[in-house]
């Protein structure tokens, strides 16, 4: 019943303007493959398993010509529970083949779940999974799994190490907040390093462990980094980026042409900081710390969490995956049969000025564009709404350019006084009158506009330069 109501609801894709008039030029939409009737909101562009629950991306890698994506998965229902590592493979990061879960709860050290972790390609060329298990005592421990047959490029079967658990929460570590090992890296001394997310009291941190053999791990006397402004860190990620380059580099690289990124997931967002990492001393000297006013860097300001990067050696780039959670109720998830998607895979590099990261969907995604709809040279008068016809509203890949003929009265913004995130998320932000904007798109809109999701822009002046604020309406989340 519920589903047929959803299906019969007519939805539109619209252009809107609430500030000065703007002109939308060379505005093209690419409609997508037809959506199966029984699954009207299943995505076509984004990664999803065939059904049921998915959250964090785990251990993405490129191995013997194949891209692997593992993910936190409940294979039985569309709500959290029975957490296993779902496993899918692809030759182009766009079309996926879904395999059996790689690892599932089975042993005393992971019986209550195979939680997040990473893969590391060892010098032998074989990949290894490090993951968090929740053990019989509900403690979080770190475990190892290796491929049963490393000659199989699809790596269908994985064998858990008889030495598990490798790392247990002892001493001052809270056993309920100790998880998500990163891809490991070797220093010039050939000693392995890995970090694990956690907290000590209210201080969030990345525990650092070292090992000569990947099996016997010793806790370093200081964490890689910590912060008392963040709470518990989940899903840390730590990797080098090249200065002044579009290429990525592997997790071992470190020289004067690199900076290091430390990402941690907390307060429902993925935050990162930049710094210099010295592997000889494991000293990470940072530029700005987490949550510092004006430099609170994040990957994304929408629904995007528990992300993970990997180095794609085939195309010499670093790719970012992140979990896009839903705000549906458990009942809605059960009715539709699935919950959770992954973001587009995005290529991620250091900006030209070296102060932040920049991202773009990998260009393979453009393969999915079909049914080009063009909508050009339209004038958007103050308060107007234009319908873009010829596409389904539920998904479209949009390229849009707005021409703003008169910017003489652009209002000023001082980021030290006004938090742009706050401005975007204010109630009615998409309809408030600015001097230039908001203008933008209404996706999934009903004819009377009572149902809609706005993606919108507002132009400001900052330090004499014009800046655009891009927002998406999250008031329904």
> Least distance from C-beta 432 to ligand NAG, angstroms?
7
Tell me: does residue 218 bind ligand NAG (CB under 6 A): yes
What phi, psi does 14 have (nearest 5°)?
A: -130, 155
237 is catalytic: no
403 is catalytic: no
Given the complex with ligand NAG, which of 38 and 148 has the nearer CB atom?
148
The token pair at 211 is 């090992």
What phi, psi does 129 have (nearest 5°)?
A: -100, 130
Question: Catalytic: which of 56, 110, 270, 397?
Answer: 56
**End-to-end distance of the chain based on CA atoms, in angstroms?**
24
Which listed range, 22-30, 90-98, 118-126, 442-450, lies at the site for ligand NAG (CB under 6 A)?
Answer: 22-30
Tell me: does residue 175 bind ligand NAG (CB under 6 A): no
> Least distance from C-beta 80 to ligand NAG, angstroms?
33
Which listed range, 24-32, 113-121, 300-308, 350-358, lies at the site for ligand NAG (CB under 6 A)?
Answer: 24-32
Tell me: does residue 4 bind ligand NAG (CB under 6 A): no
Which listed range, 254-262, 388-396, 405-413, 458-466, lies at the site for ligand NAG (CB under 6 A)?
Answer: 405-413
CA trace torsion 199, 216, 104, 125 (10° rounding): 110
Which listed range, 33-41, 86-94, 145-153, 262-270, lies at the site for ligand NAG (CB under 6 A)?
Answer: 145-153
Which listed range, 40-48, 256-264, 402-410, 465-473, lies at the site for ligand NAG (CB under 6 A)?
Answer: 402-410
For the beta sheet containing 234-242, the strands, ordered from the edge strand earlier in sequence to the opposite edge, are 234-242, 258-266, 269-278, 283-286
Tell me: does residue 281 bind ligand NAG (CB under 6 A): yes
Q: Which residues contact 358 (CB under 8 A, 6 or more apart)?
A: 348, 349, 350, 351
Which listed range, 137-145, 146-154, 259-267, 441-449, lies at the site for ligand NAG (CB under 6 A)?
Answer: 146-154
Tell me: does residue 351 bind ligand NAG (CB under 6 A): no
- Exactly one of 33, 176, 245, 401 binds ligand NAG (CB under 6 A); which one? 401
Tell me: does residue 399 bind ligand NAG (CB under 6 A): yes
Given the complex with ligand NAG, which of 138 and 374 has the nearer CB atom?
374
Given the complex with ligand NAG, which of 25 and 246 has the nearer CB atom?
25
- Exactly one of 138, 216, 245, 356 binds ligand NAG (CB under 6 A); which one? 216
Distance CA 414, CA 423 (A): 12
- Exactly one of 168, 228, 384, 392 binds ligand NAG (CB under 6 A); which one? 228
Instruction: Determine contact, residues 223/205, Cβ cutoff 8 Å.
Output: yes
Number of residues near ligand NAG (by CB under 6 A): 22
- Exactly one of 26, 329, 412, 426 binds ligand NAG (CB under 6 A); which one? 26
Tell me: does residue 426 bind ligand NAG (CB under 6 A): no
Question: Catalytic: which of 110, 135, 237, 473?
Answer: 135
Residue with tokens 């990061």: 93
> Least distance from C-beta 283 to ligand NAG, angstroms?
4
The token pair at 264 is 């941690």
> Least distance from C-beta 220 to ligand NAG, angstroms?
11
Distance CA 131, CA 408 (A): 56
- Exactly one of 34, 124, 221, 408 binds ligand NAG (CB under 6 A); which one? 408
Tell me: does residue 370 bind ligand NAG (CB under 6 A): no
Tell me: does residue 245 bind ligand NAG (CB under 6 A): no
The residue number whose beta carbon is nearest to ligand NAG equals 285
Q: Which residues contact 353 (CB under 8 A, 6 or more apart)?
A: none
- Exactly one of 176, 245, 247, 372 binds ligand NAG (CB under 6 A); which one? 372
Strand partners, 158: 147
Q: Which residues are catalytic?
A: 56, 135
Binding site for ligand NAG (CB under 6 A): 25-26, 28, 149, 151-152, 216, 218, 228, 281, 283, 285, 369, 372, 374, 382, 399, 401, 406, 408-409, 433
């Amino acid at each position: 019943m519920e589903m047929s109501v959803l299906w019969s609801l007519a939805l539109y894709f619209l252009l809107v303007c609430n500030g000065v008039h703007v002109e939308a030029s060379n505005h093209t939409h690419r409609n997508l493959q037809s959506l199966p009737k029984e699954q009207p909101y299943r995505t076509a562009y984004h990664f999803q398993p065939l059904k049921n629950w998915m959250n964090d991306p785990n251990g993405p890698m490129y191995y013997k010509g194949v891209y692997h994506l593992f993910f936190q998965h409940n294979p039985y229902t569309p709500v959290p529970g029975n957490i296993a590592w779902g496993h899918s493979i692809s030759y182009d990061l766009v079309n996926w083949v879904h395999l059996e879960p790689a690892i599932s709860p089975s042993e005393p050290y992971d019986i209550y779940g195979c939680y997040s972790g990473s893969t590391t390609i060892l010098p032998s060329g074989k990949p290894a999974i490090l993951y968090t298990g929740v053990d019989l005592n509900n403690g979080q421990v770190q475990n190892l799994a290796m491929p049963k047959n490393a000659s199989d490029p699809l790596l269908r079967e994985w064998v858990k190490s008889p030495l598990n658990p490798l790392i247990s929460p002892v001493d001052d570590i809270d056993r309920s907040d100790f998880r998500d090992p990163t891809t490991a890296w070797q220093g010039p001394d050939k000693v392995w390093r890995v970090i694990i997310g956690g907290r000590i009291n209210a201080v969030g941190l990345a525990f650092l462990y070292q090992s000569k053999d990947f099996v016997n791990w010793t806790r370093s006397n200081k964490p890689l980094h910590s912060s008392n402004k963040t709470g518990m860190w989940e899903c840390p990620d730590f990797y080098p980026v090249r200065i002044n380059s579009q290429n990525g580099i592997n997790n071992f690289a470190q020289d004067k042409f690199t900076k290091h990124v430390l990402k941690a997931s907390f307060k429902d967002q993925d935050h990162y900081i930049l710094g210099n990492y010295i592997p000889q001393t494991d000293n990470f000297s940072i530029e700005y710390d987490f949550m510092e006013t004006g430099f609170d860097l994040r990957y994304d300001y929408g629904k995007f969490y528990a992300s993970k990067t990997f180095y794609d050696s085939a195309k010499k780039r670093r790719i970012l995956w992140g979990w896009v959670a839903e705000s549906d109720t458990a009942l809605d998830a059960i009715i539709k049969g699935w919950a959770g998607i992954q973001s587009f895979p995005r290529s991620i590099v250091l900006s030209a000025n070296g102060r932040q990261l920049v991202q773009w969907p990998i260009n393979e995604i453009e393969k999915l564009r079909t049914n080009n709809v063009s909508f050009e040279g339209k004038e958007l008068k103050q308060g107007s709404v234009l319908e873009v016809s010829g596409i389904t509203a539920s998904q479209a890949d949009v390229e849009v350019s707005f021409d703003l003929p008169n910017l003489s009265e652009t209002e000023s913004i001082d980021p030290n006084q006004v938090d742009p995130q706050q401005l975007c998320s204010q109630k009615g932000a998409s309809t408030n009158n600015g001097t230039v904007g908001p203008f933008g798109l209404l996706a999934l809109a009903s004819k009377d506009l009572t149902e809609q999701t706005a993606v919108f822009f507002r132009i400001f002046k900052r330090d004499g330069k014009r800046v655009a604020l891009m927002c998406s309406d999250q008031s329904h989340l």
